[in-house]
Amino acid sequence: MRDTRESRLLLVLLVAVAFALITVDIRGGEDSPVDGARRAAATVFGPIEDGVSTAVDPIGNAISAIRESGSRHDRLAALEKENAELKASLGSDDRNSSRVEQLDKILKSAANGQYGIKGAEVIAIGAAQGFSWTVTIDIGTNDGVTRDMTVLNGDGLVGRVTTVGPNTATVLLANDPDFTVGTRMEATDELGFASGQGDRPLRVELLNGKAKVKEGDRLVTFGSQADKPFVPGVPVGVVSRVDPSRGDLTRTLYVKPYVAFTQLDIVGVVVQAPRKDPRDTVLPAKPKPTPTPTVTVTVTPDAEAPLDGQADEQ
């Protein structure tokens, strides 16, 4: 339509009529004279609106999905966080269970050997003694710990206390090259001295060069004068190799220690020695040998076989 004076007048007239109809409709309420026209329009345009609405719904659903995806993402993040916390809690429970088990083994060893002990936790590795095999524990003089006390765990000999502070102490581990402890063989009572070799088995020199020793034999601490630095009867390890006897005054053994020195956590410091030597009572029970199954084969004579080696007559 061309923009002329007549078209502008027509537009003004239509707007005026529209406002008039709106005013009449509002004032008329349910009795509005244009209600019939409204219903007719709804009848005509309703299906069209429904079709348009159906066409637009997927877009609305997509927008809704995007909005909900944000909330779902937040919920997923919350669930992942809860899951991580649960795993951490379970891990903590597992660690606590392991510690309870370690402490239980230490208490059993202390009861068998009649040792008075103070429980401690390993809080550092390789303390102030250079590159030696040492650990720091969280008890000291305030807990009754002094220098040259025996340290053990539920498996056996850990080491000895070397330096002590008010609340901590340094322990020289039994596998340190500067570590030496007197040993006694189970049953035979053969004496010797065990020395650390780092991550290799302990080296033991038996005083009797002709001693009969075999792989699998076990050793315990012999003990020291006044029970310092070592109390008697603490398990040391199991013989893993024996050097051939060559008529020397001593005999060399290699012993796998009971203690895993790289896995120390809970230990016990012996603050009171036993009244008497516990001998071999602290050693763990020997594993029972697995019986070798035997198979008996019984041959059943064939009923049709000939007797006395005679052939059947044809």
- The proportion of the chain whose per-residue pLDDT surpasses 70, expressed as a percent, equals 60
Any idea which of 46-60, 91-105, 142-156, 263-277 has the lowest mean pLDDT? Answer: 46-60
pLDDT confidence of 288, banded at 50, 70, 90? confident
pLDDT confidence of 93, banded at 50, 70, 90? low
pLDDT confidence of 11, banded at 50, 70, 90? low
Look at the chain and count its residues.
314
DSSP class per residue in 211-262: ----TT-EEEE---GGG-S--TT-EEEEEEEEPPP-S-SSEEEEEEESS-GG
Helix (H, G, I), strand (E, B) or coil at 293: coil
Cα dihedral sign for 111, 220, 239, 293? negative
This prediction's pTM: 0.64
